[in-house]
Amino acid sequence: MSAGVAARVAAVRILDAVVQRGRSLKAEFANALPALPDPRDRALTEAIVFSALRNRARYDEALVAWMPKPPGRRDGELRALLWAGFAQLDALGLPPHAAVDATVASARELGREHQAGLVNALLRRALREPLPAADAGAAWPEWLANRIRNDWPGDAEAIFDESAKEAPSWLRVNRRRGSRDDYLRRLREAGINASVDERLADAVKLESAVPVAQLPGFDAGDASVQDGSAQAVADALSPPLGARVLDACAAPGGKAAHLAERDPSLRIVALDVDARRVRRMQETFARLGIEIESRAADAADPAAWWDGTAFDAILLDAPCSATGIVRRQPDVLLHRRESDLASLVALQAKLLDALWPALAPGGALLYATCSILSEENSGQVRAFLEGHADAALEPLDARFGRDTGFGSQRLPGEGGMDGFFCARLRKR
């Protein structure tokens, strides 16, 4: 297989699996990328897939306009091939001849010799004619777009636009391994441009994405990849010295690790219901040089794991619709169903009710999601407060987003960060 073709073949297969067979984008990347030995191929595959998914509404409009019979569900691989080609020419701006030739070669590699001419003709048309403009909201399922418009009437279009953009790269500097200023200097010495954000004590924002293998000291645990919104959780919870802390839905472990990096005196227990994700979380803790008690357990069933000793602080980063991180997980718009939402809201309420008894009087529970839907966020907190007379909502300042009256909401792209919600509940 010639140079660059392997990356495009991988991208097409991933797109087809995610769009046609409902597979998770994260799982498909995990399966496919290790098979590409060249890191440049891995980076190109990711770039093509993300660009194609973010712009799929525009690319489908082009296919409808340019083909008498656009590819349907039975020919998803052809559609994925054309999306991958358009993404290279449009969003990624790759050299036209290389993009077209390698995509046509990918068609042959995929056993689509009979369609190579069609792929060539449509990509060359894309070089001559502009791809149609499209409303970024067109990529969202109608039921979900309507909920966004209802919850955020003045911000909905900005949410759609921001969710279609590439997310910036944020790093969290491990305080146990050095200061943020020292790490910023190391990045610059390595030729990587970055800046700090004064709202986040441990954060560094890269000017452009860099493979983690190129980050100074990454393997040694000097830094981790984590969005700014997620890094704000440590400040929002802010447990006292020596506190016993529970991270109830902890995988992949970034927030628990951040707390441990900041304060070695904390006694942290990290739970996750998925044993495989717990093993990966433990690998992360080992890389960072921190020790955190971690186990596979269902946080909604404390009888199965709680020893009866109350926690001083609890972090519940609850399962949610992930509508605040569409720019990082564009497959959310393909896979999320309206019926999912009621199940998620019920699970969030169940987790809150189950964990509240494990919190010591005077302790704080931080409820967080990466959702921007009020039903999962302010509505969930309002309902919890109505049913728990011993709970009080504590205000969070403007660093954590907009005050909704029942917690703080950051919308996608605000401050360069992901959409995120958090509310701090104090037990009387």
Q: What are the binding residues for S-adenosyl-L-methionine? A: 249-255, 272, 298, 317
Q: Which residues are catalytic, by number?
A: 370
- Check: CB of residue 26 under 8 Å from CB of residue 274: no
- Check: CB of residue 106 under 8 Å from CB of residue 45: no
Type of residue numbered 321: S
Classify burial at 20, counting beta carbons within 10 Å of its beta carbon; exposed 0-12, middle 13-18, buried 19 or more: middle
Q: What residues form the annotated binding site?
A: 249-255, 272, 298, 317
Query: Tokens at residue 418, please?
Result: 């992901």
For residue 256, give every residue at least 6 positions away whose Cβ sits within 8 Å of its Cβ, in sequence order, or none.
Answer: 245, 247, 250, 268, 270, 281, 285, 292, 294, 315
DSSP of 307-374: -SPPEEEEEEE-----TT-TTT-TTHHHH--HHHHHHHHHHHHHHHHHHGGGEEEEEEEEEEES---T
- Check: CB of residue 355 under 8 Å from CB of residue 347: no
DSSP of 174-240: -TTT--HHHHHHHHHHTT--EEE-TTSTTEEEESS---GGGSTTTTTTSEEE--HHHHHHHHHH-PP
Q: For residue 104, give the nearest of 78, 129, 70, 130 by alpha carbon.
A: 78
Q: Is it true that the peptide bond before 252 is cis, omega within 30 degrees of 0?
A: yes
Residue 223 bridge partners (DSSP):
173
Type of residue numbered 10: A
CA distance readout (Å), 70 to 80, 100, 130, 347: 12, 19, 18, 40
